[in-house]
Amino acid sequence: MVNEKVLIKDKYRQLKKFLFISGIFLVIIIILAGVYFFGWFFGSGDKIILENPLKNIVLANTNAQGQVDYDAVVSEGVMNFNVDYINYIMAALGVGKLHKSLMGYGNPVIEMDLENEIWNAEIDNGLRTVPGSAEDPDLRVIMTKEEAVKALLSPDIGEFMKTSVYNRNTQIEMVAGKVELGSKGYLSMYSELTGESVE
């Protein structure tokens, strides 16, 4: 009889141990799923909607027949290049999908080099773009002002940017590490633009 009670206690002890370990795994799975779905919803971001900054220049260079003097628009656009152009291109690159890192890396920061005129954009409750180099950029975009203006004039700026990257008229350099880039949402943006995955 005494031996039987001990065997029954051992059965319950193993059952309790199994339930305890299963409970820990279940809690870990729930936490990971919560973080994943939080990141997914958080990472979808608000759409950034901007008006094309070349709109007035195009209207000024359109004749009575509705024909646009493309070269004049490009020339004037390059001369009047400003922060609105950068913001419009950033939106076309997909920065609306970027988000603050949940792993402590901070906000996404992109640097644009336009013929040695440097701009940087930080995504922090919207897009904040200022002239000058970024202290610690995640990604660097290199293109000419003329290419940027042509992108703004294209009927589908997203497709134009993909083609520009493919034809090497625009270069995209990943400055930060893959883990940091992934935690901010860059990897899918980079893959969409280049057709390649980050190594």
Residue pair 50/127 in contact by the 8 Å Cβ criterion: no
How far is C-alpha 104 from the chain's CA centre? 17
Is the pTM higher than 0.85? The answer reads no
As given in the structure block, the two tokens for residue 116 are 């040695």
Q: Per 3-state DSSP, what percentage of the chain is helix, strand, and coil (rounded to 5)?
A: 55, 15, 30
pLDDT digits (tens, 9 = 90+) for 11-44: 677 777 888 888 888 888 887 776 666 655 554 4
- Write down the domain spans for the chain: 1-44, 47-194
What is the average pLDDT across 41-62? 70
Enter the CATH code of domain 47-194. Answer: 3.30.1050
Token digits of residue 111: 């640097």
User: pLDDT tens-digit profile of 106-148?
Assistant: 889 999 999 889 999 998 888 889 999 988 899 899 999 999 9
Q: How far apart are CA 176 and CA 197, in angstroms?
A: 15
